[in-house]
Amino acid sequence: MNNIFSNIDAVKHMTAAISREADPERAYRIMEVCGTHTMSIARYGIASLLPANISLVSGPGCPVCVTSQADIDNSIDLAYGAARKLDSGAVQITTFGDMLRVTGSDGRSLYNAKAERNNVHIIYSPLDTLSLAKDNPDKHYVFMAVGFETTTPMAAGLVHTAAQQGISNISVLSMCKTMPAAFDLLLADPNAKIDGFLCPGNVSIITGSSIYEPIVAAKKAAAIVGFEPMDILSGVLEIIRQINKNDYHVANTYTRAASSDGNKKAQALTNKIFEPCDARWRGLGWLKGSGMAIRYEYMDYDAISLYNLNTRREEQPTQCRCGDILRGYIAPSACPLFGKACTPMTAVGPCMVSSEGACAAYYKYRI
């Protein structure tokens, strides 16, 4: 591979420095918050390059994985026309592909709806919804918005553009979330025992580095890193140094894309369309102010009010342990369903479905 950030000599140089500096007398538990990091770490076998006393733990940073069962059930109901106030034939769903195979409480998924009703469209950009809606004015398109700070501006861009162009047959089902409340929960959780966080570079491109301040205020290490092996390893080295010196600050080794202020234009677009609300996370429960709801001024584009969806509906308990995995309590292989009842083709929980889920990464790379 000719990518300079996965150059073998550079990687050896970096892992040597990590082995030299890691204190063999203590254990280091480092959480990679983002699903893309989980995937990179598994793919490049990064855990095997590190001394045994450094463990990497997956966190709640895959948007599909943290989407609550209630929200999944709502989106599947919408696709099947079960929600109230629906002329069911007219409702069309647009979604990122990762959402398709997540199963609802009744065992159905958007994938089933796509096969049975042909009303689910996989898109790459939320804006792809616009051309579908323009071409089919008699149908109503609902975009399934999942994502963190990185992806919320794109859902906002859809509402903004639809409003500007006067397109009325579009709405957004917002399941968007923000990271700070999840960090607070993990920092306050005595069972998680995390010493440092690899912070997602893609989120930082939008938010800047300030959202990680509570981590260092709680005396935990933090490094903003990109997604190549050298990015991740330099973050690990930085975190080990902060822990050894007991000197905590938000380090940034992803300066080629993320600045300290973030992207103000994207932040302004998000704030124009969305406002914070409480949100339910899989495995973490209700977190105050961690969701993004569409503002009152744009309620015509809000699928939750348009279709009167109940975001507080009850959830059925299952054997799936995605919740414990998202909190860093257990590794995917410790779940009784892993690789048996639950595989990527017959996924029970979202961590196995999403291409960025911890279970999918562990399964694919046989960790």
Partner 1 sequence: MIHFYPLQKLAKYVNIERIEVRIMCVGIPAKIIECDEISAIVDISGSQREISLLTLDAQAAAGDWVMVHAGFAVTVLDPAEAEETLQMMLDMANE
215: left (phi over 0), alpha (psi -120 to 50) or beta: alpha
Least distance to partner 1, CB of residue 86, Å: 26
Sequence-distant (6+) residues with CB within 8 A of 358 are 35, 38, 58, 62, 65, 325, 326, 332, 351
* Residues making contact with partner 1 (CB under 8 A): 1-6, 10, 13-14, 16-17, 34-36, 62-63, 96-98, 124-128, 146-147, 150-151, 153-154, 157, 160-161, 202, 205-206, 227-228, 230, 234, 237-238, 253-258, 263-266, 269, 355-356
Instruction: Give, in degrees to the nearest 5, the angle at Cα 153 between 149 and 157.
Output: 170
Instruction: Give, in degrees to the nearest 5, the angle at Cα 209 between 61 and 258.
Output: 85
Q: Which is nearer to partner 1, 17 or 90 (CB)?
A: 17
Q: Which is nearer to partner 1, 59 or 157 (CB)?
A: 157
Q: Which is nearer to partner 1, 92 or 234 (CB)?
A: 234
Least distance to partner 1, CB of residue 84, Å: 29
Torsion angle in degrees (nearest 10) through CA of 230, 233, 239, 244: -120
Q: Which is nearer to partner 1, 210 or 310 (CB)?
A: 210
Report which of 207, 307, 199, 298 is spatially closest to residue 259, judged by C-alpha positions.
Answer: 207
Please give the radius of gyration of the chain, using alpha carbons only, rounded to the nearest integer.
21
Least distance to partner 1, CB of residue 9, Å: 9
Q: Contact 290/174 with Cβ under 8 angstroms? A: no
Least distance to partner 1, CB of residue 71, Å: 16
d(CA 204, CA 11): 24
Q: Which is nearer to partner 1, 206 or 337 (CB)?
A: 206
Least distance to partner 1, CB of residue 123, Å: 8
Least distance to partner 1, CB of residue 159, Å: 11
Q: Which is nearer to partner 1, 40 or 80 (CB)?
A: 40
Dihedral pair phi/psi, residue 240, rounded to 5°: -60, -40
Instruction: State the CB neighbour count (10 A cutoff) for residue 338.
Output: 23
